[in-house]
């Protein structure tokens, strides 16, 4: 960018400057994927009449369950984690079709937008 500007190629320098922001965005997304998807998570999503739990392991939703009695939520979460931990997934699976990649993109975005108290990290 500086070389282009010093030789009066301002359009090229401007293009490089704009690309830097986009590359930072891609870098942030890739690092976020790498940090998030190896984890085992429980997501607590409030509903009108209770809470819905999602057990997520390596970017896959393995178990969901809705609970209405919030007074027993901690007990429910413990049992839910036990059930989710018993589910085995293929460790060698890599998404290769567009649908699987889109699914992971959506899941990643949703998890990143949740409040911290709605995500339980089991690692």
The partner residues of 120 in beta bridges, in order of sequence, read 42
Over the chain (123 residues), the average pLDDT of each successive run of 10 is: 59 81 73 79 93 91 91 90 87 67 83 92 89
> What is the residue extent of each domain of the chain?
1-36, 39-123
Q: Which two tokens stand for residue 54?
A: 């999602």
Instruction: In whole angstroms, give the CA distance from residue 60 to residue 93.
Output: 11
pTM: 0.71
From the list 98, 71, 65, the residue with the least C-alpha distance to 84 is: 65
Report yes or no: 51 and 45 within 8 Å, Cβ to Cβ.
yes
Instruction: In whole angstroms, give the CA distance from residue 61 to residue 73.
Output: 20
Residue 69 has a pLDDT of 84
Residue 88 has a pLDDT of 82
Residue 19 has a pLDDT of 84
Sheet of 119-121: strands edge to edge?
Answer: 60-67, 50-57, 40-47, 119-121
How large is the C-alpha radius of gyration of the chain? 21
Report yes or no: 61 and 34 within 8 Å, Cβ to Cβ.
no
């Amino acid at each position: 960018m500086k070389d282009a500007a010093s030789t009066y190629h301002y359009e090229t320098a401007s293009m490089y400057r704009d690309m830097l922001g986009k590359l930072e965005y891609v870098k942030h997304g890739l690092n976020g994927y790498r940090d998030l998807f190896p984890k085992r998570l429980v997501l607590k999503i409030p509903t009108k009449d209770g809470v819905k739990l999602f057990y997520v392991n390596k970017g896959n939703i393995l178990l969901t369950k809705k609970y209405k009695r919030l007074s027993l939520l901690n007990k429910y979460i413990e049992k839910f984690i036990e059930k989710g931990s018993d589910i085995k997934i293929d460790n060698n699976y890599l998404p290769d079709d567009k649908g699987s990649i889109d699914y992971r993109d959506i899941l990643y975005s949703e998890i990143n937008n949740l409040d911290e108290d709605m995500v339980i990290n089991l690692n």
